[in-house]
């Protein structure tokens, strides 16, 4: 939720890299896997969600900052149980409320399948249980195995997003006006001495210089922001799941709705385009990987354009938000690793080019 002056300041602080804890304050999310053997699920907490021991066959902890359990049930089904985030800023039941709101919207069957169904919630634990696709791969896993994503996956993903973005939200907005989102870039990049002193990482000056050079473009993005629909706001590659079974009813599933709200659909589309480019950057700018990433991005964007009818001006916004996605990736590396590394530097370079002049399509040609 991003509607107060304080929330905008928080957004600015995160984007400029002086708010988040310094490296070493907490383990990276993907380090959670080494805690699996030590973790003992609280069966009482599961039982309060209706998942009693006689129903549960197996419980496995997932790699995540928060406690997330994959629970297989005796009837052959499975659900994902998510406990409250230990981060005090995220310790809330916002995802439960968002999923409840989405359940009340008039969604097409395709969009309905893309949204997890809330199976159980509450019971004094503030945990939630969601239905899952048992055998699935995330977009990240797919691109790690084969950088060229199946065209059917890209078209299905575009179609599901179009349906979600075109869902009528007027009644929901009247009920939840505080869910108004803003672009995740700062209106001003000037820092106080205190903020500058608390910048994250060794390469903070390099990152800050690029952000300050883009300040005028950030103001344009704020002026062009059109919060017309519900947006996911965090379409990272590991939040997009595809079933392994080609005959499965569900063709795509979007998870982790903690950051969702009313925003500009161009941001969701652009953020995802940026994610394809990030995957190529992780391969350190390899020319073949970049060509494949461009192909994935163009195929997805072409499908979205065909199904939604977005205008040329909107497509330029999409490309700018792809650049924002790359900047956010650089910021994350700076804050988690304490330095940009080669990947972070490339993200800064590509992101800056896309934001400064998306008409050149330097990265998307």
Q: How far apart are the first and last CA of the chain?
A: 35
Q: What residues contact residue 209 under an 8 Å CB cut-off, 6+ apart?
A: none
Task: Give the integer Cα–Cα distance in Å for 10 and 14.
Answer: 6
User: Tell me, what DSSP letter sits at residue 35?
Assistant: G
Task: Give the integer Cα–Cα distance in Å for 80 and 317.
Answer: 35
C-alpha triplet 57, 123, 62: angle, nearest 5°: 45
Phi, psi for 84 (deg, rounded to 5): -55, 145
Please classify residue 125 by burial: count the beta carbons closer than 10 Å to its beta carbon, then call 0-12 exposed, 13-18 middle and 19+ buried.
middle
Task: Give the integer Cα–Cα distance in Å for 98 and 16.
Answer: 28
Closest CA to 357 of 150, 217, 223, 162: 217
Phi, psi for 364 (deg, rounded to 5): -105, 5
Say what the pLDDT of residue 42 is.
Answer: 61
C-alpha triplet 40, 43, 49: angle, nearest 5°: 130
Q: Hey, what CATH topology would domain 5-360 get?
A: Aminoglycoside 3'-phosphotransferase; Chain: A, domain 2 (3.90.1200)
The residue extents of the domains of the chain are 5-360
User: Tell me, what DSSP letter sits at residue 141?
Assistant: H
Say what the pLDDT of residue 29 is.
Answer: 38
Count of positions (residues) in the chain? 365
3-state helix, strand, coil split of the chain in percent (to 5) is 50, 10, 40
Question: What is the chain's pLDDT, residue by residue, as a tens digit (365 residues)?
Answer: 444 566 677 778 778 887 644 343 433 333 444 433 444 456 777 888 888 888 998 888 887 777 888 898 899 888 989 887 765 455 567 888 899 999 999 999 999 999 999 988 876 667 899 998 878 899 999 988 998 999 999 999 999 999 999 999 999 998 888 889 999 999 889 898 888 888 888 899 999 999 999 999 999 999 999 999 999 999 999 999 998 876 666 789 999 998 999 999 999 999 999 999 888 887 765 778 888 999 999 999 999 999 999 999 999 999 999 999 999 999 989 888 899 999 999 999 999 999 999 987 656 66
């Amino acid at each position: 939720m991003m509607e107060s002056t304080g929330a905008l300041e928080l957004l600015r602080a995160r984007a400029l890299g002086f708010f988040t804890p310094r490296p070493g304050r907490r383990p990276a999310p993907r380090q959670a896997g080494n805690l699996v053997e030590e973790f003992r699920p609280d069966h009482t907490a599961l039982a309060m969600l209706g998942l009693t021991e006689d129903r549960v066959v197996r419980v496995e902890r997932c790699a995540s900052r928060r406690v997330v359990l994959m629970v297989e049930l005796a009837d052959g089904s499975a659900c994902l149980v998510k406990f409250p985030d230990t981060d005090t800023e995220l310790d809330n039941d916002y995802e439960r409320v968002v999923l409840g709101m989405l359940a009340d919207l008039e969604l097409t069957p395709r969009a309905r399948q893309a949204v997890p169904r809330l199976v159980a919630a509450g019971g004094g634990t503030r945990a939630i249980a969601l239905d899952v696709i048992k055998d699935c791969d995330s977009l990240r896993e797919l691109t790690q195995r084969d950088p060229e994503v199946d065209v059917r996956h890209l078209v299905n993903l575009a179609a599901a997003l179009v349906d979600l973005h075109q869902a009528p939200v007027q009644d929901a907005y009247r009920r939840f006006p505080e869910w108004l989102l803003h672009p995740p870039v700062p209106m001003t990049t000037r820092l106080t001495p205190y903020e500058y002193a608390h910048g994250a990482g060794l390469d903070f000056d390099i990152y800050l210089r690029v952000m300050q050079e883009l300040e005028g473009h950030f103001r344009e993005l704020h002026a062009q922001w059109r919060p017309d629909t519900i947006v996911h706001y965090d379409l990272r590659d590991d939040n997009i799941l595809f079933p392994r079974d080609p005959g499965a009813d569900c063709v795509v599933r979007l998870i982790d709705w903690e950051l969702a709200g009313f925003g500009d659909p161009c941001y969701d589309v652009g953020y995802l385009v940026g994610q394809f480019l990030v995957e190529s950057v992780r391969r350190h700018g390899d020319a073949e990987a970049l060509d494949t990433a461009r192909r994935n991005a163009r195929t997805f964007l072409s499908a979205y354009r065909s199904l939604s009818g977005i205008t040329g001006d909107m497509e330029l916004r999409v490309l700018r938000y792809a650049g924002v996605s790359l900047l956010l990736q650089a910021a994350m590396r700076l804050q988690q690793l304490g330095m940009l590394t080669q990947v972070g530097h490339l993200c800064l370079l590509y992101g800056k080019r896309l934001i400064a002049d998306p008409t050149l399509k330097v990265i998307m040609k």
